């Protein structure tokens, strides 16, 4: 008997506004391959953590109004990435649905918990010790994750439990986010294509 074919979980989404032009391609069953041209170097470094630790292939091209500041580009990247995840994951049958991870980096430690619930919600408890990392305003991390949860339709809890180096704080958050995503979107062989909800839909 042939084993059932697993649908390809790949999606490409573009967002074109007067402020940004962004195209994101995701492969949820990738190997961690990453390519990005966003014009925001530290954000590229963080997106690479999502791909590498989530084993999710990410291909991102973004052009934004960086002469103003990074706000629109970072926020719209979160939106577009969320839309791509929502499209790639399909009806969510057979996935684990929930994911969580603790990740340390030297003195810093972060916890990320995610639920592909269909209900957007961001709960982020992070006090960055610096206002800027590289040239990136740390307030924009909240904008990125808010855009993601609204359009991926997930509940996301992010807690930086300790840390005094802002770079380490951010890196533990994004690594844990990648690990939590990896767990949540993984096919669960015990679910055998069933919906991971007593409601019958997500």
Domain presence at residue 1: no
Question: Per the domain annotation, does 198 fall within a domain?
Answer: no
Q: What percent of the chain has pLDDT over 90?
A: 89
Domain harbouring 41, CATH code: 3.30.230.40
Q: Is residue 3 pLDDT above 80, yes or no?
A: no
Instruction: Say if 77 falls within a structural domain.
Output: yes
* Residue 125 covered by a domain: yes
Residue 188 region by backbone torsions, left for phi larger than 0, else alpha for psi between -120 and 50, else beta: beta
Residues 28, 85: Cα–Cα separation, whole Å: 8
Query: 6: pLDDT confidence band, cut at 50, 70 and 90?
Result: low
The pTM is what?
Answer: 0.94
C-alpha distances in Å from residue 4, one per residue of 11, 28, 182, 193: 21, 18, 22, 10
In a domain, 19, yes or no: yes
Residue 113 CB contacts under 8 Å (≥ 6 apart), including other chains: 98, 99, 100, 156, 157, 180
Quick one: average pLDDT of 9-27?
A: 98
51, 34 Cβ separation under 8 angstroms: yes
Residue 36 lies in a domain: yes
Number of domain units in the chain: 1
- The 10s digit of each residue's pLDDT in 191-200 is 888 878 778 7
- Phi, psi (5° rounding) for residue 129? -85, -10
The reply to whether 140 falls in a domain is yes
- For residue 40, give its domain range: 10-185
Residue 159 is assigned to a structural domain of this protein: yes
Dihedral, 134, 140, 146, 147 alpha carbons, nearest 10: -80
């Amino acid at each position: 008997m042939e084993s059932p074919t697993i649908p390809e979980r790949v999606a490409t989404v573009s967002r074109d506004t007067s402020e940004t032009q962004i195209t994101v391609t995701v492969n949820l069953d990738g190997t961690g391959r990453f390519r990005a041209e966003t014009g925001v170097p530290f954000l590229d470094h963080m997106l690479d953590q999502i791909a590498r630790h989530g084993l999710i292939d990410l291909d991102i091209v973004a052009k934004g109004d960086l002469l103003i500041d990074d706000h629109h580009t970072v926020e719209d990247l979160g939106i577009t990435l969320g839309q791509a995840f929502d499209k790639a994951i399909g009806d969510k049958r057979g996935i684990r649905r929930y994911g969580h991870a603790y990740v340390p980096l030297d003195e810093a430690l972060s916890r990320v918990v995610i639920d592909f619930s269909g209900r957007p919600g961001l709960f982020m408890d992070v006090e960055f010790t610096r206002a800027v990392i590289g040239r990136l305003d740390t307030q924009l991390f909240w904008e990125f994750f808010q855009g993601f949860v609204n359009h991926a339709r997930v509940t996301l809890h992010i807690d930086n439990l300790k840390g005094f180096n802002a770079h380490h704080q951010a890196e533990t958050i994004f690594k844990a986010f990648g690990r939590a995503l990896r767990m949540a979107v993984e096919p669960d062989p015990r679910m055998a294509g069933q919906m991971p909800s007593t409601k019958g839909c997500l």
